[in-house]
């Protein structure tokens, strides 16, 4: 009962904020039937000022109680404290120029990198790096530009590890503003509902309050959890094209969004969940790498689009040839600093199963896919972990 009342109070605050700022927001009636909403909230409609005061108190209480497991990747006091260490000049360590650092870009000469005013020998750490040898992209240079893109590194744990490998200072006479000529790759992100609770800001990863998930069978688009690995691509639907290539076949099928929509339209209601859902509970038992998700990195929606089975058939895949293939690989438009596209695969039998319900979706709950959820096209693979439901599908 307390949670239900608190939910009403929270939405009254959101309502007041968005009304005064003239911003469109998700109405409570989308989350529950109007009669149910009225039944739960009718007793507070007669006292608007008291309700708003109670709502504010409820929202603060909710935030303090329910956000205990949320970790902001780049905005905690501990992060700022650790980050200051890299800016400090250590008189007990030698000073190096950028040209001296650049000579250490291979294993023979040792792998050195710089971050802010520090110089670090990370050779012995490379085999432990969760991202593998991608750290070598910064070998002999600065990691600052890469961490602007992969800002999940900006947390106390990572900065503390880096500081252990510090061997010197970067010459203060040299310009060390390694990101001054870079625009923020996250400057063109879509707007999000304020009630989403971020586990990481850049890239944006967030979930809605747990109790809202059970209010309705279908999760509203604005409250659906967001899992991004990189900046959200800004794709023009009028120039969008999807490439379908079958190994061993000579032709490649290219479809525009309009051409994809000419295929029979299928709708499937399916749950998508991040593999890291409830990781915050795991970390209480043993430290686990990854974003500190709560229990709401999951959502249920009705997706609509073309059947992957039919698209593959149009591209030249015959049932008699299925034994030749093992997987269908999906590649997205979001790419990392090396230009490598995010991608994942599913077994061929899942892709072509008549009852597999795998679709190339262009609608979510009856409207075009929001940017955060894969506009203009994503693959939906019911029953398979969210990471393989590739968004911003390009190939």
Mean pLDDT computed over 283-292? 89
Q: Can 77-170 and 210-388 be said to share one CATH topology?
A: no
Please give the pLDDT value at position 81. 61
Omega into 152 within 30° of 0, i.e. cis?
Answer: no
Mean pLDDT computed over 322-348? 91
User: Which letter, b or e, does each residue of 274-305 get, where b requires 16 or more Cβ atoms within 10 Å of its Cβ?
Assistant: bebbbbbeeeeeeeeeebbbbebbbbbbebbb
Mean pLDDT computed over 97-111? 92
Please give the pLDDT value at position 389. 97
Kindly list the domain boundaries of the chain, sorted by start residue: 2-66, 77-170, 210-388
CB 70 within 8 A of CB 209: no
Q: Distance between CA atoms of 366 and 302, rounded to whole angstroms?
A: 7
Q: Map residue 237 onto helix, strand or coil.
A: coil
Mean pLDDT computed over 81-105? 83
Higher pLDDT among residues 373 and 144, named by residue: 373
Class of domain 77-170: alpha beta
Q: Distance between CA atoms of 96 and 173, rounded to whole angstroms?
A: 11
Q: Give the count of beta carbons closer than 10 Å to the beta carbon of residue 339.
A: 6
- Give per-residue pLDDT as tens, 337-382: 777 889 999 999 999 999 999 999 999 999 999 999 999 999 999 9
The overall longest dimension of the chain from CA atoms, in Å, is: 76
Q: Map residue 89 onto helix, strand or coil.
A: coil
CB 392 within 8 A of CB 334: yes
Higher pLDDT among residues 119 and 46, named by residue: 119
Angle at 294 between CA 231 and CA 133, to 5 degrees: 45
Cα-based torsion angle of the residue sequence 346, 352, 357, 359 in order, rounded to the nearest 10 degrees: 70
- Burial of 183 from C-beta contacts in 10 A (0-12 / 13-18 / 19+): exposed
Q: Map residue 338 onto helix, strand or coil.
A: coil
Mean pLDDT computed over 219-248? 94
- Give per-residue pLDDT as tens, 123-138: 999 988 887 777 888 8
Whether 199 shows a pLDDT value over 80: the answer reads yes
Q: Map residue 79 onto helix, strand or coil.
A: helix
CATH topology of domain 210-388: Sulfite Oxidase; Chain A, domain 2 (3.90.420)
- Mean of the per-residue pLDDT values of the chain: 81
Half-sphere exposure for 203 (CA within 13 Å, toward CB): 16
Q: 110-115 and 105-106: which strand pairing? A: antiparallel
Please give the pLDDT value at position 319. 84
Q: Map residue 278 onto helix, strand or coil.
A: coil
């Amino acid at each position: 009962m307390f949670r239900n009342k608190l939910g009403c109070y929270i939405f009254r605050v959101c309502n007041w904020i968005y009304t005064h700022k003239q911003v469109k927001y998700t109405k409570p009636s989308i989350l529950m039937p109007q009669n149910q909403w009225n039944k739960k909230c009718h007793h507070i409609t007669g006292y608007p000022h008291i309700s708003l005061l109670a709502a504010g108190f409820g929202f603060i209480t909710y935030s303090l109680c329910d956000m205990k497991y949320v970790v902001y990747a780049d905005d905690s006091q501990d992060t700022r404290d650790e980050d200051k260490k890299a800016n400090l000049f250590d008189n007990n360590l030698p000073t190096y120029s950028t040209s001296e650092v650049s000579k250490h870009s291979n294993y023979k000469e040792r792998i050195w990198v710089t971050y802010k005013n520090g110089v670090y020998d990370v050779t012995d750490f490379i085999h432990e790096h969760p991202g593998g040898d991608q750290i070598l992209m910064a070998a002999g240079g600065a990691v600052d530009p890469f961490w602007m893109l992969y800002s999940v590194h900006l947390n106390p744990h990572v900065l503390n590890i880096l500081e252990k490998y510090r061997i010197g200072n970067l010459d203060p006479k040299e310009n060390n503003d390694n990101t001054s000529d870079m625009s923020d790759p996250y400057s063109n992100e879509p707007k999000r509902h304020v009630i989403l609770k971020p586990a990481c800001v850049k890239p944006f990863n967030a979930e809605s309050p747990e109790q809202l998930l059970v209010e309705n069978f279908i999760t509203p688009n604005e409250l659906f959890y967001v899992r991004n690995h990189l900046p959200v691509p800004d794709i023009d639907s009028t120039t969008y094209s999807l490439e379908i290539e079958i190994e061993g076949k000579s032709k490649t099928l290219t479809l525009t969004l309009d051409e994809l929509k000419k295929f029979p339209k299928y709708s499937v209601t399916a749950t998508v969940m991040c593999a890291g859902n409830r990781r915050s509970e795991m970390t209480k038992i043993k430290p686990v790498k990854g974003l500190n998700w709560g229990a709401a990195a999951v959502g249920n929606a009705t997706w609509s689009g073309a059947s992957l089975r039919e698209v593959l058939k149009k591209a030249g895949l015959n049932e008699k040839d299925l034994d030749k293939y093992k997987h269908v690989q999906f590649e997205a438009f979001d790419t990392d600093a090396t230009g490598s596209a995010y991608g994942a695969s599913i077994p061929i039998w899942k892709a072509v199963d008549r009852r597999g319900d795998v679709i190339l979706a262009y609608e979510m709950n009856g409207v075009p896919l929001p940017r955060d959820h894969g506009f203009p096209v994503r693959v939906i693979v019911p029953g398979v972990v969210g990471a393989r439901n590739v968004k911003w599908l390009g190939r």
